[in-house]
Structure 1
Amino acid sequence: MDKKQRIAIIGSGSWATALAKMLMHNVEGFNWYFRSEDNIKLFKKYKHNPKYLRAVEFETERIDFYSDINEIAENSDILIFVIPSAFLKDAVKDLTVDISQKFIVSAIKGIVPDDNTIVGEFFHERFNVPFESIGVIAGPCHAEEVARELLSYLTIACPDIKKARQFAFNLECPFIRTHISEDIYGTEYSSVIKNIISLASGIAHGLRYGDNFQAVLISNGIQEIKRFVDTVHPITRDIKSSAYLGDLLVTGYSQFSRNRTFGMMIGKGYSTRSAMLEMHMVAEGYYAVKCIKEINERYNVNMPITDAVYNILYENISPSIELRLLTEHLR
């Protein structure tokens, strides 16, 4: 892997746009996949993403846009997938190009529904991509702050440390610093569960629980993440590092967190459908909590926060009642 290899971004949302902004600092050009040809035309005309982070301007002559997923896969060496996990299978259902020899990067932070696998496992099983050629981009990092060029940190995880380090060079710039990890399972599962904890944080805020309770909720949340990832993939990891605890903190507290916003709306009495319609964005935690709940049927890890969010979103239990019950399980 080197800087001459062609990089592709598969996805067109806010996080994809933030990653594209990072790439513009490091590579001569890259490929970018949009499902909508109309959005590509608007992007070229106005030199910004027509729907997300519109203040970020791009030198569009350095970008090759595609609306055919096979064509972009054929013409790229590194594929960064930035599609909500709930829609990933649909997005790649027509992908027939052999990608087993390419470097696949997940910037999704979600579980693939029905399969109940992390994104790396999905590409390994579906497209025969070796785990050594699968990377994960972990936070803590919000797209909105990348757009404003506020200093942010990313963790790049891959079982092949050399590949992780080489890929990280493509993202480092004056406002982005990177760390390297081998832990694709822990970082990906942690990224998934922190969205669930963030939903709980938002629900609590919507119900007018205060900062004192939020601190207890988040501190119990990192313990819940640790119990789960240590059970599912038991290796030595520092759960206090930024890829785990840092990502949880920014997602649980930040005004930019769509999962916290979604949870806050649920706490205030919105239905899940009305909250989704009003946000116009995908809250990964909504889909993740069902997947993690099903996965945990095999492991029986003590996950009271996850259970509470699941009961609220999928069992239609009153948020005020469920949060009151949850308070008895927190320490």
Structure 2
Amino acid sequence: MIEVSVVGGGSWATALVKILTENKIPTYWYLRRKEQVKHVLEHGSNPRYLPQVKLDPLLIFPSDNLDQVLSRAKNIIFAVPSEALQLVCNGLDPSLFKDKIVLSTIKGTVGKKNEVPSSYLSRTLKIPLTHIASLAGPCHSEEIAESKPTYLSLSCVNQITVDKLGVLFRRPYIQVRSNSDPIGVGYASIYKNVLGIASGMAKGLGYGDNFMAVLISNALFEMQNILESIPGEQRNMLNSTYAGDLLVTGYSNNSRNRRFGELIAQGHSAELAVNKLGMVAEGYGAARGLFDYANEQGLNLPILESIYEILYRNQSVESKFKELEETLI
């Protein structure tokens, strides 16, 4: 029997648990807070994230004991914020992952090495690259909650692993696509969240569709430059795994990164914007890690640089976007 362990208690983890339980897959779910565990057990829903989603109580087994959750299933999904991944993995015994398949659904760089999450998990927990995969969009958890048509991309160097994981997620409203470029997909997922912040800032400043179209077309160039810095793959930027994920993050009102950027442009501090969201905006931390990576690679990425300087060097949103008006092509 197929069983899955899910690590993470946010909206994305909740959407994944919804899919798994719809497919009648027993799901062991690590939730950090005891009160969250209690609510899921009693009500079959996550009280804070996607509370409207009703989960089959006979198929979910929530717990705040991480080792216990990890030991229960052969398939493990990490769905925590990138900035929390090191803390979650700290002290974990790599033997817990022996002969298991691990899926990272995390979008952000990890640690001082600015690793993509799948690479970090592989190195830290001694997981062979053939047994670790990445999940990308284009998609939003809110639309999965409503069972709207959704596309997921599974990426691994091993097609057998992709095929095994694909079975977990296929639903009448979900199309699963395979990909052999987990590092490229990882960095594309990181950058698209930074672009989400930029598009939210543009909206908050009152820019219209004309500017937004130029901003996002330039963002595609920046993503392409990032991907070309990663050896080993011939990538088609028009593939929905890359361009599609960037577009949905840039334009959708469901994008928490876009809402975060809009709040910043309206004068809120980053801390207050996060508090107002009530959830993590992955692009906030990702902007710092990706900026460091771009500097290491000698990449010229004006949008990324502007967002970094606004968030981490206290530069004026208005002045940086005025500069972008002159820089974008």
Normalising by structure 1, what TM-score?
A: 0.96
Deviation at residue 135 of structure 1 after TM alignment: 0.6
Is residue 269 of structure 2 the alignment partner of residue 274 of structure 1?
no
Cα deviation, 1:196-220, whole Å, max 9, x if unaligned, reads 0111111111111110100010111
CA RMSD of aligned residues (A): 1.2
Give 1:27's aligned amino acid.
Answer: K
Is residue 61 of structure 2 the alignment partner of residue 64 of structure 1?
yes
Question: Which residue of 2 is the match for residue 328 of structure 1?
Answer: 326
Q: Is the 8 A contact 1:134 1:158 kept in 2?
A: yes
Is residue 48 of structure 2 the alignment partner of residue 43 of structure 1?
no
Select which of 209, 219, 222 maps to 1:221.
Answer: 219
Q: How does 1:4-15 map to 2 (within 5 A)?
A: 4-15=1-12
Deviation at residue 182 of structure 1 after TM alignment: 0.4
Q: How does 1:24-39 map to 2 (within 5 A)?
A: 24-39=21-36
Deviation at residue 274 of structure 1 after TM alignment: 1.4
Deviation at residue 97 of structure 1 after TM alignment: 5.0
Deviation at residue 57 of structure 1 after TM alignment: 0.6
Question: Which residue of 2 is the match for residue 180 of structure 1?
Answer: 178
Q: Is the 8 A contact 2:2 2:25 kept in 1?
A: no
Q: Tell me how many residue pairs correspond in the alignment.
A: 328
Q: Is the 8 A contact 1:69 1:92 kept in 2?
A: no
Deviation at residue 233 of structure 1 after TM alignment: 3.1
Q: How does 1:156-195 map to 2 (within 5 A)?
A: 156-195=154-193
Question: Which residue of 1 is the match for residue 294 of structure 2?
Answer: 296
Q: Is the 8 A contact 1:140 1:242 kept in 2?
A: yes
1:275/1:103 Cα in 2 relative to 1: closer, same or farther (>3 Å)?
A: same
Is residue 195 of structure 2 the alignment partner of residue 201 of structure 1?
no
Inter-partner Cα distance in structure 2 for 1:103 and 1:183: 17
Give 2:75's aligned amino acid.
Answer: I
Q: Is the 8 A contact 1:289 1:306 kept in 2?
A: yes
Q: Is the 8 A contact 2:21 2:60 kept in 1?
A: no
Is residue 91 of structure 2 the alignment partner of residue 94 of structure 1?
yes
Question: Which residue of 2 is the match for residue 124 of structure 1?
Answer: 122
Inter-partner Cα distance in structure 1 for 2:244 and 2:25: 32
Cα deviation, 1:36-71, whole Å, max 9, x if unaligned, reads 122111111111111111111111121122211111
Q: Secondary structure at the match of 2:168?
A: coil
Q: Secondary structure at the match of 1:179?
A: strand
Cα deviation, 1:15-41, whole Å, max 9, x if unaligned, reads 111111111122341211111122111
Moved more, 120-129 or 313-322: 120-129
Deviation at residue 76 of structure 1 after TM alignment: 1.6
Gaps in structure 2 of 5+ consecutive residues: none
Q: How does 1:144-155 map to 2 (within 5 A)?
A: 144-155=142-153
Deviation at residue 115 of structure 1 after TM alignment: 3.4
Inter-partner Cα distance in structure 1 for 2:48 and 2:272: 21
Q: How does 1:133-152 map to 2 (within 5 A)?
A: 133-152=131-150
Inter-partner Cα distance in structure 2 for 1:268 and 1:28: 44
Inter-partner Cα distance in structure 2 for 1:273 and 1:51: 19
Q: Is the 8 A contact 1:192 1:285 kept in 2?
A: yes
Identical-pair percentage: 35
Gaps in structure 1 of 5+ consecutive residues: none
Inter-partner Cα distance in structure 1 for 2:11 and 2:231: 30
Deviation at residue 315 of structure 1 after TM alignment: 0.7
Q: Secondary structure at the match of 2:58?
A: helix
Q: Is the 8 A contact 1:186 1:233 kept in 2?
A: no
Q: Secondary structure at the match of 2:246?
A: helix
Q: Is the 8 A contact 1:198 1:260 kept in 2?
A: yes
Is residue 291 of structure 2 the alignment partner of residue 287 of structure 1?
no
Give 1:275's aligned amino acid.
Answer: A
Give 1:185's aligned amino acid.
Answer: I
